[in-house]
């Protein structure tokens, strides 16, 4: 699994692109429609929204949820939590449930980042690993994963 989280110093998140409110509204809503379950109501750049979204399984090349995430009491962790303002997006919880071992995952991340209405950086990705106590921990990716991310996420 991957997680995308800019550093705390970027608490205002990423700027939405393009700057034109009508065009960004269309691009954001089309992006959400492609990768997440239907968003009701659609986002409007004139107001702030906190969004809790579920991934469209059909949009993912593979699904790799940690067993910890599949427990009924932890189902909420499977959702993506974002805050949208007029021209910015903030990532509160953004887990991408794909395997770092599958080549198709990197192709998906490249396409996902290219279509995103905001600029994503490979340096903000972390990888979920199972620690010594059997719990999921988020770590910076190793050199191999960093190279693969750098190849696809531009």
The span from the CA of 67 to the CA of 77, in Å, is: 12
Tally the domains of the chain.
Answer: 1
Q: How many CB atoms lie within 10 A of CB 154?
A: 11
Residue 11 structural domain: 2-152
pLDDT digits (tens, 9 = 90+) for 10-36: 677 888 888 888 888 889 889 999 999
Q: Which residues of the chain have pLDDT under 70?
A: 8-10, 39-42
Which tokens sit at 148? Answer: 């693969």
How far out from the chain centre does Cα 7 lie? 14
Question: What does pTM read for this prediction?
Answer: 0.88
């Amino acid at each position: 699994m991957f997680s995308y989280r800019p550093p705390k110093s970027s608490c205002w998140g990423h700027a939405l692109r393009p700057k034109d409110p009508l065009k960004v509204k269309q691009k954001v809503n089309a992006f959400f429609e492609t990768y997440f379950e239907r968003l009701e109501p659609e986002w409007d750049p004139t107001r702030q929204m906190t969004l809790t979204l579920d991934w469209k399984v059909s949009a993912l090349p593979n699904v790799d949820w940690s067993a910890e995430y599949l427990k009924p009491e932890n189902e909420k962790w499977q959702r993506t939590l974002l805050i949208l303002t007029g021209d910015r997006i903030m990532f509160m919880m953004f887990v991408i449930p794909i395997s770092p071992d599958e080549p198709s995952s990197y192709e998906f991340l490249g396409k996902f980042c290219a279509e995103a209405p905001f600029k994503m950086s490979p340096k903000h990705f972390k990888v979920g690993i199972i620690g010594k106590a059997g719990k999921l921990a988020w770590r910076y990716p190793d050199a191999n994963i960093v190279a693969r991310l750098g190849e696809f996420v531009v």
